[in-house]
Amino acid sequence: MSDILRKEEIEQFILNGFVRIDNAFPREIAEAAVAILWNDLPCDRSKPSTWTEPVIRLGMYSQQPFFDAVNNPKLHLVFNQLIGTDRWLPCGSVGTFPVRFPSDKEPNDTGKHVDASFPGKDPSIEWRINVKSKGRALLMLILYSDVSEADAPTIIYKGSHIDVAKLLHPEGENGLSFMELAGKLDTLPQRDKVTATGKAGTIYLCHPFLVHSAQAHRGKTPKFMAQPPLLLRNELTISDSEIGYAPVEEAIRMALTDE
């Protein structure tokens, strides 16, 4: 199978911090996954009057539709293009779901953040992130429902991964905790906002340092999106490589060269 991403798309990933993959998996898989999620929700799919909370979080999901959404030859080839052949671990699950409902209430989880990737001394209360993105190759935003501008699309801060790499660089191997880094994000340069909209079956593959945030749902249909990491088999290399650098590494190197 030939490469999926064009040279221009890889350059976009390095500069902007993300690439959108349309039709990454079939709508039938998305619908099967959403049916499982509705069975676990404490409200009635056919009665919007029962949708009383702006967001309900559901647990880990590894059933076949969720697994199939992120494990197909097309996506695996893209992972190889962005991270390097066999330098990542196939997804066994898609993690937890923040299911977002149309609501006049404001959700309490809309702050800017970068997902952390490795445990601190006490994993129950602290996770961390360092300049080599220990443990995490990508952040994935996986749309299991159609998401329009009204349906609480995740806000992506275009190019913000460059700013975060510069913040993390002086912190060494230990990096920063999730909360420490979150507290610094408002000091970063203003970045253009991109909303993660698309049809069910769309996946946004994001650099692990990309700043993003949730927002309130002003549409009519609940939003189902997973946001799992793609895990690394070994750590990233950002200097002294004898074999060159993958795009996820090139983005970090570009940030540090520009300091």
Q: Give the DSSP letter string of 44-77.
A: -TT-GGG--SSEEEE----SHHHHHHT-SHHHHH
Q: Measure Cα distances from 254 to 10, 62, 87, 247 in Å.
A: 14, 36, 21, 10
- Going from the N-terminus, what domains does the chain have, and what CATH number goes with each? 7-257 (2.60.120.620)
Express each pLDDT in 16-50 by its tens digit: 999 999 999 999 999 999 999 999 999 999 999 99
Residue 259: pLDDT band (50, 70, 90) is low
Q: What is the pLDDT of residue 203?
A: 98
Q: What is the pLDDT of residue 3?
A: 76
Written as one letter, the residue type at 55 is V
Q: What is the pLDDT of residue 123?
A: 84
The SS3 call for residue 176 is strand
Q: What is the pLDDT of residue 250?
A: 97
Residue 14 tokens, joined:
């390095």
Contact 161, 115 (CB under 8 A): no
Q: What is the pLDDT of residue 254?
A: 95
Within 124-210, strands assigned E span 127-129, 136-143, 155-157, 176-177, 193-195, 203-206
Express each pLDDT in 41-87 by its tens digit: 999 999 999 999 999 999 999 999 999 999 999 999 999 999 999 89
Q: What count of other Cβ atoms lies within 10 Å of the Cβ of residue 173?
A: 11
Work out the mean pLDDT of the chain and round it to a whole number.
95
Express each pLDDT in 163-187 by its tens digit: 999 999 999 999 999 999 999 999 9
Q: What is the pLDDT of residue 2?
A: 62
Contact 130, 178 (CB under 8 A): no
Give the residue from 24, 28, 3, 65 showing the smallest Cα distance to 201: 24
Express each pLDDT in 196-244 by its tens digit: 999 999 999 999 999 999 999 999 999 999 999 999 999 899 998 888 9
CA distance 138 to 1: 22
Contact 143, 198 (CB under 8 A): yes
Structure-model confidence comparison of residues 104 and 170, the more confident one:
170
